[in-house]
Structure 1
């Protein structure tokens, strides 16, 4: 929030105090504490009747430095907490940080990052790396403010350099760079066309080689160059503010360190990367409708991987009681078995954390104490979404076990996964079972909700076969993939909004992301559906879903069928490449869909791009966002190869082209060797058997290793491609069958069992 009235004055009724100097220090081997008065101390009397801030500086991990500023520290610690706090003493801190002193200069170093303080000068914290200052907390950089309502806000300001851009803070649909924006980290169900967000993450990344994580689960208010134009300010209504500066130096390194602190994504099952088809939300459907849709996809040659049942698989007024509506689904076990055995489909059902009063489960949960309560002891209820609904209290261990039991019953019927909708409209005028602070629980609730569902799936299906389709998240929620972008309109503008949100979420530590192909609200025209289908099938996860209308492709036109079929098959052939990218997300925190900044941090032209992205390491995707097929996109340095046409595109520079519905800018990076699987009908097959290695513009001296994962858990097939002069040689290890090299348009086939292939490039 804003505290000042311009540069010189405070807003009416606001009183602020800032750390002014350092009165005392306490130094340990791996951390130090500063004691900072909020006014100059010239004589003993100045120590009376004034605040003294306690500023603890520590290193929770290599390349990360934490700062915890406390005004009054005597209050209760009610929780919850986003990240575990480091111990006050002990080997964990000692291993991460080291303190040195040189006269009045105090330095805490961790990896390549240092925090430097001159204890004899005015209060200032300088975070440095590689011989330069990354950011600083200066004259107004540490303090607190009281507002007319009596609230106490702890605040910090970190400087922005010239040309420094800020990204992240969750899945936000506003302009891609956060500079100039006011952002509240507060879960809301605001769609994709507002400043509100379903996934609010108090972590921002900049293009200067660092990020900042505010370790607070409640409302964090940001002013990103919007109050003091050269500062990022963040504040919390609390007596303590804790933040971590996370060093890179590359943006991918920042994400790796941040996700090491808050959790890396689990690796989703390979089948989840196939095409999902939904009943849509309020459309009329029953088993006959489902069967007709599934058969229609098969008859038109569109491979389908997952069928999703949205809300009305349950009876109206009884969500969420986990019981199939017998009028439309009289034999759910038989239906799920037929979908699995006859069509090879996985199934997903919609759930939420609400229990409607009409459901028998409401009384059961109320009597057991499993619903969130009002301060007077009664159950908190309202009529939004479902009449008289209550909210499951996931802070109660019994409630978590009870909720998991409802899910296990569905898994026993044959359900494979769950769409975990909602989790944002969480009240603050309530009492939680474990005594959590209601304001801190508002954002954190989604963590408990999605974790309960994900861990239930992991327990039932095994490690590596669990996936949810979640809408809400907070910091650390990336551990429970996958997430989708929420309620967007069926317009080209909303398609661009969704992409901005997905790229922003990726820069906030989330590895997997999806969206509603065609848009959710309204009905897309045929042109929009086809363009969105291309985009959706070049995303980590792909789902056809709408609100009041179906999203089966033949509802639009025959060309929509062809586009959906061809791009689904293309995605299946890309599975060895995509699963390698998925591993990178799970192992390093690098998202599958990446803002161009992540791969090209040294190209300033890439720093603001939000209408294109990298899909894995080596594919550039620029979705077509216009009705006439015109697209403007930027190509970084080198000669790139159009994956669908073979055309060459040179960079650096901008290109404007027009595309039919059978294509879009999909470019292979120069020097890349992309593995294309031989299967088109399913996302799951032996990706290494019959794989084609597509080599693109290999320079002399190139040495590229391509790993092809195996869905059965067998060791990867590994291909090493080297070019010497005009000769290209591939060495293969672990390839189960014949494989090919596609080089400059010419195919060279290695027979089964071959471990080496040498091919001259075409003239």
Structure 2
């Protein structure tokens, strides 16, 4: 929200108050409380007026500082609240000349008494500061706001704030954290997260689930401003030596994802949205995929599995699906998992509407009437997930579907949540607008988790929803521009703490031309999760052209063989909060060329992927330092430099990072198999001291010996395989017998070492 008119003046109707000195600083166990008047205190008479800014500083865990800014403290706290893990409280207070200091791990906050200033520092360097007229209260036509402004240094770049489809670097942007059903082509977003990540050793999480207004190097080009309406504002400064370290700490604070089941990483095929379908149609799709040797893991039924005007009553349309349990059994007998579309809205024509009214399960207006409107479904209402009985009622409907054979749910919608309502638990409707997505997806996810494997395909989200994977990018057009928008959105979401992400291959709105569809297939199968979906047209590849079938087969099989590697990346996301799909700056924060890259990404830590955004196959991409190997062609690409290529539809740049041991599985027909059985280890550009655990818990360590590299394994399986790339000669140490093999050979050994002579 803009409060100022340029640098010097406030906008008409704005009244501002800012702390000018720290008059009183109180030390409490592991924390500080500061009273900072908005005027100089020169004599006792100045203590008879306000306002006074109360700042509470604490440390919920190492490397995190909590800042709470308050004007009036008598305001009722109605919730909801983000779930914060503050069990590792780690604050230490000290005093310096003219300053009070709170230290948490390597991060410290220093409060200067007079003049007022708050510095956040690590390693002897100031990371960011709140200076004169940064923090404070602003009244706009009688409405009270709390604001903070934190400094940005030269070259500091801001990322995150949720799944945003504009430029990846947020500098210069105005962002409101407010979930909206706005597609992928505007400033609106389905997944708003009040957390930003910088390349300067820190991130900032604003602990407010409602609307937070960010001005990122826009109102003041050297500051990030954020504000909320109300009497208080709380934020956390999160320190990390690298952006990945910041994400690790931020997700420890707000939650990390569960591990999606292995089958969810395979290809999902849907009926599409408004297309006509029944069991015969679906069987035809499944038969067509099998006949063309196209691996398929999940079949998804979109909205019209239910009758029109009845969404959501969770009842199969009896005309199209007279035997749902039998149909699902027949599909599952073919090795498929089943997903069905749901949302949290209850149409008036549904029998569930009357149930919801009678049970008090639906969201109501302040006067007690059920809140309704005619958008999306006539007379629809919303489930009030703050009511435990309503959550149990909704969950019971899903349990019935699981009993029929459904395996997971696409949790669509959850963004258009009104504020002129009264929640069962008394929650503030403004704070619930974004947080509704958390309660909705959590309800569904917990139903699945009680059965074992749990995965949803969610569109709406806010901070903390990373616990409930997977999320997809929403409604995009069938254009190359929308394909690029989608990638930016996914990378931005990953920089906001979300580990897994997907998108509609080919775009949602419209029907993609065959060339675009084939380019998007390659991108989609080299994403965390992969789904063929559209709005008004089917997405089976043979309806586009026969080459689309070949492209889908090539990349679906490639992804299946990459599953030992992707499984490791997924487990890292769960353990550390580092996303599977990573913006280049996450892996190469010290390379300035990576700062703004948004048309390529790292899939895990070792594969660089550069999607092709043109019919003719022209693609340009940046290669960081080292000798990288193209996974699909075997050619070496040396960086740092920009590369321009032209790719056919069966290829795109997928470069393997130097120093990688890449495991490729023995199965290309499905994603869920024993990854250690028959795995092939591909060695790329090995040098001294590389330690990797590519699959099955076996660690590989390299030792450079002149022009040789010795590769040793710990606890090796009885037999293991290595496909050596970029070497001149291989010697296998096998029971004391050295066996020479030609370069590039597949090595099988019962011993636990190979010696490679590097081709200089």
TM-score range, shorter chain: over 0.9
**Secondary structure class of the residue paired with 2:619:** strand
| Distance of 1:754 and 1:380 partners within structure 2 | 70
1:511 aligns to 2:499 (yes or no): yes
Contact 1:688-1:737 at 8 Å conserved across structures: no
| Distance of 1:645 and 1:102 partners within structure 2 | 61
Contact 2:67-2:234 at 8 Å conserved across structures: yes
Contact 1:520-1:545 at 8 Å conserved across structures: yes
**Structure 1 residues 315 and 736, CA gap change in structure 2 (3 angstroms):** farther
Match of 2:611 in 1: 623
* Match runs of 1:14-413 below 5 Å: 14-84=14-84, 95-119=89-113, 121-148=114-141, 150-341=142-333, 343-413=334-404
**Structure 1 residues 5 and 348, CA gap change in structure 2 (3 angstroms):** same
| Distance of 2:233 and 2:92 partners within structure 1 | 23
Q: CA deviation at 1:722?
A: 4.3
| Distance of 1:5 and 1:313 partners within structure 2 | 53
Alignment TM-score, normalising by the size of structure 2: 0.96
Contact 2:664-2:681 at 8 Å conserved across structures: yes
Match of 1:449 in 2: 440
| Distance of 2:383 and 2:14 partners within structure 1 | 38
Match of 1:553 in 2: 541
2:581 pairs with 568, 580, 593, which one? 593
1:744 pairs with 726, 739, 742, which one? 726
**Secondary structure class of the residue paired with 1:409:** helix
2:532 pairs with 535, 544, 556, which one? 544
Match of 1:660 in 2: 648
| Distance of 1:762 and 1:243 partners within structure 2 | 53
**Secondary structure class of the residue paired with 2:608:** strand
Match of 2:690 in 1: 703
Q: CA deviation at 1:516?
A: 0.2
Contact 2:57-2:65 at 8 Å conserved across structures: yes
Q: CA deviation at 1:104?
A: 2.3
Match of 1:89 in 2: none
Alignment TM-score, normalising by the size of structure 1: 0.96
Contact 1:83-1:215 at 8 Å conserved across structures: no
Worse-matched range after superposition: 326-335 or 748-757: 748-757
**Secondary structure class of the residue paired with 2:127:** strand
| Distance of 2:327 and 2:706 partners within structure 1 | 60
Contact 1:688-1:717 at 8 Å conserved across structures: no
Q: Deviations over 1:150-200 (max 9, x none)?
A: 211100000010111110000000111111111000000000000000000
Q: CA deviation at 1:728?
A: 4.0
| Distance of 2:689 and 2:36 partners within structure 1 | 56
**Structure 1 residues 259 and 85, CA gap change in structure 2 (3 angstroms):** closer
Contact 2:173-2:215 at 8 Å conserved across structures: yes
**Secondary structure class of the residue paired with 2:59:** strand
| Distance of 1:726 and 1:548 partners within structure 2 | 59
Q: Deviations over 1:443-480 (max 9, x none)?
A: 000000000000110001x2xx1100000100000000
| Distance of 1:339 and 1:177 partners within structure 2 | 44
* Match runs of 1:565-580 below 5 Å: 565-580=553-568
2:706 pairs with 719, 725, 728, which one? 725
1:430 aligns to 2:421 (yes or no): yes
Q: CA deviation at 1:753?
A: 5.0
User: How many residues end up aligned between the 2 structures?
Assistant: 744
| Distance of 1:723 and 1:481 partners within structure 2 | 41
Q: CA deviation at 1:744?
A: 2.4
Contact 1:275-1:304 at 8 Å conserved across structures: yes
Match of 2:487 in 1: 499
**Structure 1 residues 2 and 268, CA gap change in structure 2 (3 angstroms):** same
**Secondary structure class of the residue paired with 1:349:** strand
| Distance of 2:13 and 2:106 partners within structure 1 | 43
Q: CA deviation at 1:123?
A: 1.2
Question: Any unmatched runs of 5+ in structure 2?
Answer: 728-742
Q: CA deviation at 1:754?
A: 4.6
Q: CA deviation at 1:534?
A: 0.3
Contact 1:748-1:759 at 8 Å conserved across structures: no
Q: CA deviation at 1:248?
A: 0.5
| Distance of 1:567 and 1:655 partners within structure 2 | 23
| Distance of 2:505 and 2:565 partners within structure 1 | 22
Match of 2:733 in 1: none
